[in-house]
Structure 1
Amino acid sequence: MSIKLDQVVKVFGTQRVLDDVSLTIAEGEFFVVLGPSGCGKSTLLRLISGLEPLDGGRILINGREVAASGLHLAPEQRGVGVVFQSYALWPHMTVAGNVAFPLETAGRSRSEVTRRTEECLATVELTRFADRKPADLSGGQRQRVALARCLAQGASTILMDEPLANLDPHLRGAMEEELSAFHKASAATTLFITHDQREAMALADRIAILWDGRLLQADAPEVIYRRPRNRHVAGFIGQGSIVTVRVTAAEAGTAHVRLGKAGQDVACVADTQPGTAALLLRPEDIEACGDEGAQLCGRVERSVYRGGFHEADVAVEGLDAPLMVRLAGRPAAGERIGLRLRSGWLLPA
Structure 2
Amino acid sequence: MSIRLKSVTKRFGSHAALKDVSLLIEERDFFVVLGPSGCGKSTLLRSIAGLERIDGGEIHLGSTVVAGPQRHVDPEERNVGVVFQSYALWPHMSVRQNVAFPLEAAKASRQRVLGRTATCLETVQLTPYAERKPADLSGGQRQRVALARCLAQGATTVLMDEPLANLDPHLRSSMEEELAEFHARSGATTLFITHDQREAMALASKVALMWKGEVLQADAPEVLYDRPANERVASFIGRSTILPAEVVRVRGDRALVSIAGQTFEMPCRTDTQEGPAKAMIRPEHVRTSGEGRRLEGHVDRVTYRGGYWEANLRVAGQDQPVLVNLGHKATVGEPLAISLESGWLLPE
With the shorter chain as reference, the TM-score category is over 0.9
Instruction: Identify the residue that residue 222 of structure 2 maps to in structure 1.
Output: 222
Task: State whether residues 159 and 192 of structure 1, in contact with CA within 8 Å, keep that contact through their aligned partners in structure 2.
Answer: yes
Match of 2:297 in 1: 298
| Cα deviation code 1:283-340 (max 9, x no counterpart) | 10001127x5452111100010001000011011132311100001110011111111
Q: Distance in 2 between matches of 1:226 and 1:313?
A: 21
What is the CA distance between 1:137 and its match in structure 2? 0.3
Give the whole-Å Cα distance in 2 for the aligned partners of 1:7 and 1:262. Answer: 44
1:88 aligns with 2:88: yes
Q: Distance in 2 between matches of 1:119 and 1:95?
A: 13
Q: Is the 8 A contact 2:10 2:19 kept in 1?
A: yes
**Equivalent AA in structure 1 for residue 220 of structure 2:** A
**How far apart, CA to CA, are the structure 1 residues paired with 2:220 and 2:74?**
32
Decide whether the 8 Å contact of 1:287 with 1:341 is kept in 2. yes
Q: In the alignment, is the contact (CA less than 8 A) between 1:286 and 1:342 conserved in 2? A: yes
Q: Tell me how far apart the structure 2 counterparts of residues 342 and 151 of structure 1 sit (CA, whole Å).
A: 48
Q: Secondary structure at the match of 1:246?
A: strand
Cα deviation 1:172-224 (Å, max 9, x = unaligned): 11000000000000000000000000000000000001100011100000000
* 1:253 aligned residue: 253
Following TM superposition, by how much is the alpha carbon of 1:65 offset from its aligned partner in structure 2, in angstroms? 0.5
The aligned counterpart of 1:326 is: 325
In 1, Cα distance between the equivalents of 2:101 and 2:265?
Answer: 62
Residue 270 of structure 1, CA deviation? 1.4
Percent identity, aligned pairs only, is 59
Task: Give the distance between the partners of 1:272 and 1:300, measured in 2 at CA.
Answer: 33
Deviation at 1:232, TM superposition (A): 0.9
CA RMSD in angstroms comes to: 0.9
Residue identity in the other structure for 1:337: L
CA offset at residue 124 of structure 1?
Answer: 0.1
Contact map agreement 1:298 1:337 (CA 8 A) in 2: yes
Partner Cα separation in structure 1 for residue 83 and residue 320 of structure 2: 42
Does the 8 Å CA contact 1:94/1:130 hold for their aligned counterparts? Answer: yes
Aligned-residue offset at 1:259:
1.0
**Inter-partner Cα distance in structure 2 for 1:270 and 1:288:** 29
Q: Which amino acid aligns with 2:344?
A: W
Asked if the contact 1:83–1:163 (Cα under 8 Å) also holds between the matched residues in 2, the reply is yes
Instruction: Work out whether residues 259 and 318 of structure 1, in 8 Å CA contact, stay in contact via their aligned partners in 2.
Output: no
Task: Report how many aligned residue pairs link the two structures.
Answer: 348
**Bigger shift: 96-105 or 270-279?**
270-279
1:13 aligned partner, one-letter code? G
* Partner SS state of residue 288, structure 2: strand
| Residue aligning to 1:139 | 139
Q: Is the 8 A contact 1:244 1:278 kept in 2?
A: yes
Amino acid at match of 1:258: S
How far, CA to CA, are the matches of 2:20 and 2:271 in structure 1? 27
Structure 2 portions without partners, runs of 5+:
none
Alignment of 1:16-31 (within 5 A): 16-31=16-31
2:115 counterpart residue number: 115
Q: Which residue number in structure 2 is paired with residue 98 of structure 1?
A: 98
SS state of the match for residue 239, structure 2? coil
Which residue does 1:263 correspond to in 2?
A: 263
Q: Determine if contact 1:256/1:265 at 8 Å carries over to the other structure.
A: yes
TM-score (normalizing by structure 1): 0.98
Q: Which residue of 2 aligns with 1:313?
A: 312
Q: Which residue of 2 aligns with 1:127?
A: 127
Q: Is the 8 A contact 1:259 1:319 kept in 2?
A: no
Residue 281 (1) aligns with residue 296 (2): no
Alpha-carbon distance in structure 1 between the residues aligned to 2:39 and 2:292? 45
Q: Quote the offset at 1:265 in angstroms.
A: 1.1
Residue 45 of structure 2 aligns to a residue in which SS? helix
Give the SS at the match of 1:289. Answer: coil
Q: Does the residue aligned with 1:264 lie in a helix, a strand or coil? A: strand
Judge conservation of contact 1:244–1:320 (CA < 8 Å) in 2: no
User: 3-state SS of the aligned residue for 2:165?
Assistant: coil
Structure 1 unaligned regions, length at least 5: none
Paired position in structure 2 for 1:189: 189
Other-structure match for 2:160: 160
